[in-house]
A and B are shown apart, each in its own frame.
Chain A
């Protein structure tokens, strides 16, 4: 019998060592999700920590209870622990363990609901900062960023000003992908024929790793990009620099960019007007013009010129 519980001890040691390593290294900067630099990522981290604590309240006692019961009631000659083979009902006990998870789910549910609704809004709505809009098109296998107000475009990197909420409008001109910059906040899918939005914000200057999170074929592993956060002045300087550069994204250039390939970064001083909306509407899809009027659609937030572009492109789509 002694032989039998020695391995369990070995396992406990191995397991606690693993957990300990995890926590000790947990503060390292390479743990992107645990080191958010913006309000969205922070809010999500709060929920992660809260949920971990709540489930911990249940599982830690369960693990100890398991170890105790298995040791105490092992079938060993001379074990003096009570043995009650017929005892199998206890209303009180069962009430407790139907009750505890109900309470925990209720608490976690309330916080989840609050955060879910909060993250639909821009992170710093009370401040009088004008949000920046960046349109994102996922392609095979690269990311195209369009700045509708600055009229510039970039591939595989984006620059943003710090302290400004950024509304990413997302679509895809390829299989669906997912736009994820872990240190700024969680991800949202980019889907063909659909435009969705994601609020993110960086509080500190820095270069933040981003990657597609939904598999799109053989070049998927190379779909990384950087989001570079800079002070307002530096950001504006960068915008001017790109605006004054000579490279332009033409319609033909976009068609070429669209072809499946893995490329490096590039910047364009201009891009075809309404490119984002034309892409969303290119194939008609089931997303009829009525959708534009729905509340919550990022299309509402689009500028007037974009709206004009949309109606023309939807006409051309239906003309196909």
Chain B
């Protein structure tokens, strides 16, 4: 082999690192060949481009987000299993310190930014326009850009594993540890660029959905008649719009420190690492509400549907969503009570943090009393929702305990904290997203996911969860710190760590069962022929499953909260069937390949910045500029679906009256 190849393989492909890298290389190669072969063999390239890559349809974008979220859950979950395997026994040498550091960094970053975020965006996209009676989001083209920025951000982040090295300064990546002096490798640059690129997409999504909900509701759907999931999207979008810029700034300044040698966060020449910590958590804490608020929205929909009852205390539910989104900005310093702020500052942030528990507690009581005097059907979405309550309530309780600043001096960075945030993020967000996935799956694909496999996955996941994380509270009290790649055998931590690892494996099996469930149900899942498989309450269930690409042939007029339920109760469902004479040409956005190309350009530029290869940077940024200019000069980006086409489509669905 030529020596330049050796040098390249060692420096960039990291072939000296051993079997894990080689295995990944082979896997990536095989999967790529498999995808290319399949697409070519079945002549699907054109289909992929026309139907998916260039689409601006919110339902398809939602499905693409969902697929990515599940793939990233697999990657982040595999990371978690590696971490737990390493910690199963004391003094373990399954992973080296360097590998362990990289893996917990990518686990955290992927789970928050490349799993939870696309998962909530999947539900935003799939549900909101259908629920508020709109034909698409306010800015469909921008929506596609958001997706492709996320997609290429995630690709860039994952590329680090096999090209140049993963980030290893933890998902919070505090300077000075993440500055060049302590962390010269390209990994940290991957982290900065990947999150920056997908973060731009996230801000755009926040703006897009706020505009959609404020401007595009069906006539008669006053804000206080809006389904609670859409309300939760309002709350989350507001938080996104105000929180994500702080992250963008923090990442950009740290990138400048690393790439061009500025001193924003260095300890030299007037830099101040604390500024990064503040900016990061100014985003970071609201971020957890960004991901949990939509989950709250899901629970509200699911509870009402499967208890066959109106949501209890609707106004309180709305008020508490909005209150949480406001309080979320006044709690960030609780992530660093122990960084030397005065007693006055700590007291303020401690009490503000506890106050989050008030509206959240109200929501829990309202969910309980929605079920009270209802009729509870134990379907998959409802099972996850019911399991969410104890999990989240315990996680919330330990959260209030953590908020007591002096007590936090003992919990901070210990496994108590790890157990707490996994309990609220898994119990709150992941349970909610899985419940939402099961709930709206028939609306996306026209069939239900298999109930029996789903129940097996549910029990495995829940039991695995408690077995994995309850011991970690105890480990925190035993003084075990987070981010230790190994621990001595003399501390008494051995048994609980082993138990925790077993729990993690059980959760891993549960994930595999969910994958099996999806694959099995594609063929054998119960078909949804009515469009209303759950006896739902809101507008999306008045449409066939999957919904036609224009959503509503005739935009409905809304007179009630739980509109669809009311119509069913009063036997007036025919009112939502389109009448031939009411159908008018439907105004739709045209597909475009440019959002994809723009994402690709960002990827090229980002990759250039990672290694500071200026030709790539210039090329990528030029591509971004070209896409923007082309868009600015584009006038013909819309079309009308003729009346006859809509009529025949609706007639084929058997809905025309």
Contacts of B407 in A (CB 8 A): 44, 47-48, 51, 112, 115, 186
Digitize B393-408: 1 where CB-to-A-CB distance is under 8 Å, 0 elsewhere. Answer: 1101110110111111
A94 touches B316 (CB 8 A): yes
Closest A residue to B483 by CB, please name it: A215
Given contacts A55-B400, A186-B412, A187-B338, contact A70 B371 (CB under 8 A): yes
Rounded to whole Å, the gap between the CB of B183 and the closest CB of chain A is 8
Tell yes or no: A235 within 8 A of B by CB: no
If the complex has contacts A69-B372, A188-B409, A191-B274, are A180 and B481 also in contact, measured as CB distance less than 8 A? Answer: yes
A63 touches B474 (CB 8 A): no
* CB-CB nearest in chain A for B496: A25
Report the minimum CB–CB distance from A196 to chain B (whole Å).
4
- Which stretch in A100-108, A158-166, A305-313 binds the other chain? A100-108
A46-93: which residues lie under 8 A (CB-CB) from chain B?
A: 47-48, 51-52, 54-56, 58-59, 62-63, 65-66, 69-70, 73-75, 79, 81-90, 93
- Which of B389, B401, B409 has the most A CB atoms < 10 Å from its CB? B409
Asked if B259 is at the interface of the complex by the 8 Å CB criterion, the answer is no
Q: Which of B361, B462, B491 counts the most chain A CB atoms within 10 A?
A: B361
Q: A85-B310, A116-B346 are in contact. Are A31 and B409 (CB under 8 A)?
A: no
Most chain B Cβ neighbours within 10 Å, of A63, A116, A191, A216: A116
A283 at the interface (CB under 8 A from B): yes
- The answer to whether B463 and A109 touch across the interface, beta carbons within 8 angstroms, is no
- A169-207 interface code vs B (CB 8 A; 1 in, 0 out): 000001110101010011111011110100000000000
Give Cα distance in the complex from A89 to B314, angstroms.
8
- A121 CB to closest chain B CB, in angstroms? 10
Q: A48-B407, A221-B485, A286-B271 are in contact. Are A59 and B397 (CB under 8 A)?
A: yes
Give which listed residue, B338, B342, B366, contacts A189 with CB less than 8 A. Answer: B338
Hey, which chain A residues are within 8 Å of B307, CB to CB?
A: 73
CB distance from A212 to the nearest CB of B (A): 7
Interface members, chain B 172-200 (any A CB < 8 Å): 174, 176-177, 182-183
* B355 partner residues in chain A, CB cutoff 8 A: 105
Residues of A within 8 A of B493 (CB): 30
> Which residue of the partner chain B has the closest CB to A117?
B343
* Cβ–Cβ contact A75 & B375, under 8 A: yes
Mark B469-492 against chain A: 1 for CB-CB distance below 8 A, else 0: 010011011110111111110011
Asked if A28 and B410 make an inter-chain contact with CB atoms under 8 angstroms apart, the answer reads no
- State whether A186 touches B354 (Cβ < 8 A): no
Chain A residues within 8 Å of B593, by CB: none
A252 within 8 A of B: no
Given A182-B410, A218-B98, A221-B485, check contact A83 B373 (CB 8 Å): yes
Q: Which residues of B contact A196 (CB under 8 A)?
A: 339-340
Q: Digit string of A285-320 for contact with B (CB within 8 Å is 1, else 0)?
A: 110000000001000000000000000000000000
Instruction: Note all chain B residues with C-beta closer than 8 A to A89.
Output: 312-313
Query: Quick one: CB contact mask for B634-648 with A, threshold 8 Å, 1 for yes?
Result: 000000000000000
For residue A273, CB closer than 8 A to chain B, the reply is no
A29-45 to B contact mask, C-beta < 8 Å, 1/0: 01111100000010111
* B-contact bits for A1-33, CB 8 A (1 contact / 0 none): 000100100010011001100100110101111
State whether the Cβ of B611 lies closer than 8 Å to any Cβ in chain A.
no
Is B592 located at the chain interface by the 8 A CB criterion?
Answer: no
Residues of A within 8 A of B271 (CB): 285-286
B309 contacts partner chain A, Cβ-Cβ < 8 Å: yes
B269 x A48 contact (CB < 8 A):
no
Q: Is the CB of A191 within 8 A of B412?
A: no
Is B155 part of the contact surface with A, judged by Cβ < 8 Å? no
Whether the Cβ atoms of A213 and B413 lie closer than 8 Å is yes
Q: Are B371 and A69 in contact (CB under 8 A)?
A: yes
A144 to B361, CA, bound (A): 46
Contact B397 A108 (CB under 8 A): no
Q: How far is the CA of A226 from the CA of B223 in the complex (A)?
A: 60
Please determine whether B404 and A69 come into contact, CB atoms closer than 8 angstroms. no
Among residues 67 to 124 in chain B, which have CB atoms less than 8 Å away from a CB atom of chain A?
Answer: 97-98, 101
A70 in contact with B476 given A186-B412, A187-B412 (CB within 8 Å): no
Contact A112 B406 (CB under 8 A): yes
Counting CB contacts under 8 A, is B368 at the interface? yes
B273 close to A (CB within 8 Å): yes
B486 adjacent to A221 (CB under 8 Å): yes
Measured in the bound complex, the distance between the Cα atoms of B308 and A94 in whole Å is 21
Q: A33-B410, A84-B309 are in contact. Are A52 and B386 (CB under 8 A)?
A: no
Are A105's CB and B354's CB within 8 A?
A: yes
Q: How far is the CB of A239 from chain B (nearest CB, A)?
A: 28
B309 CB contact (under 8 Å) in A85, A100, A119, A188: A85
Which A-chain residue is minimally distant from B487 (CB atoms)? A221
- B interface residues, how many (CB within 8 angstroms): 103
Chain B residues with CB below 8 A from A147, complex form: none
Residue of A at shortest CB range from B491?
Answer: A30
Given contacts A58-B397, A211-B481, contact A31 B474 (CB under 8 A): yes
B296-353 at interface with A (beta carbon < 8 Å): 307-314, 316, 336, 338-340, 342-343, 346-347, 350-351
Q: In the complex, are the beta carbons of A44 and B313 less than 8 A apart? A: no
Q: Smallest CB–CB gap between B481 and chain A, Å? A: 5
Question: CB of B421 within 8 A of chain A?
Answer: no
Complex Cα–Cα for A79 and B436 (A) = 28
The reply to whether A98 and B481 contact each other, CB–CB distance below 8 Å, is no
Give min CB distance, B337 to chain A, whole Å: 9
A192 is contacted by which of B273, B350, B479 (Cβ under 8 Å)?
B273
Beta-carbon nearest neighbor of B306 in chain A: A75
- Chain A residues with CB under 8 Å of B482's CB are 215
| B389 and A211 within 8 A (CB) | no
Name the CB-closest residue of A to B458: A7
Query: Among A15, A34, A120, A180, which residue has its beta carbon within 8 angstroms of that of B343?
Result: A120
Instruction: Using A14-B463, A58-B397, A188-B409 as known contacts, say yes or no to A33 and B270 having CB atoms under 8 A apart.
Output: no
Check if A284 is an interface residue, CB within 8 A of chain B: yes
- Chain A hits for B214, CB < 8 A: none
Residues of B within 8 A of A19 (CB): 470
| B267 in contact (CB, < 8 A) | yes
**B390, CB-defined interface residue at 8 Å:** yes
**Chain A, Cβ-Cβ closest to B96:** A218
The interface residues of chain A lying within 8 Å CB-to-CB of B309 are: 84-88
Chain B positions within 8 Å of A44 at CB level: 406-407, 409-410
- Please provide the chain B residues from 353 to 398 with a CB less than 8 Å away from any CB of chain A in the complex: 354-355, 357-358, 361-362, 364-366, 368-378, 386, 389-390, 393-394, 396-398
State whether the Cβ of B268 lies closer than 8 Å to any Cβ in chain A.
yes
Q: Are A209 and B477 in contact (CB under 8 A)?
A: no
A105 touches B389 (CB 8 A): no
B478 touches A187 (CB 8 A): no
Which residues of the other chain, B, contact A285 by a CB distance below 8 angstroms? 267-268, 270-272
Within 8 A of A (CB), among B576-619: none
Highest count of chain A CB atoms <10 Å: which of B269, B271, B272, B484: B484
Q: For chain B residues 509-536, which have a beta carbon within 8 Å of chain A?
A: none
Q: Which residue of A lies closest to B178 (CB)?
A: A175
B378 to chain A: which residues have CB within 8 Å?
4, 74-75
Selected contact of A31 from candidates B168, B343, B477, B485, CB within 8 Å: B477
For this complex, 19 residue pairs linking A to B, each with C-beta atoms less than 8 Å apart, are: A11-B462, A33-B479, A44-B406, A58-B397, A69-B368, A69-B376, A75-B378, A90-B313, A100-B361, A101-B358, A112-B354, A112-B405, A115-B407, A176-B174, A186-B409, A187-B409, A187-B410, A214-B413, A217-B182
List 5 additional A-B contacts (Cβ < 8 Å) besides A87-B312, A98-B358.
A52-B401, A62-B365, A180-B413, A189-B336, A196-B339
The 6 closest A-B pairs by CB, nearest first: A186-B409, A30-B492, A175-B177, A55-B397, A88-B310, A221-B484
* Chain A interface residues toward B at CB < 8 A: 4, 7, 11, 14-15, 18-19, 22, 25-26, 28, 30-34, 41, 43-45, 47-48, 51-52, 54-56, 58-59, 62-63, 65-66, 69-70, 73-75, 79, 81-90, 93-94, 97-98, 100-102, 105, 108-109, 111-113, 115-117, 119-120, 140, 174-176, 178, 180, 182, 185-189, 191-194, 196, 209, 211-221, 224, 283-286, 296
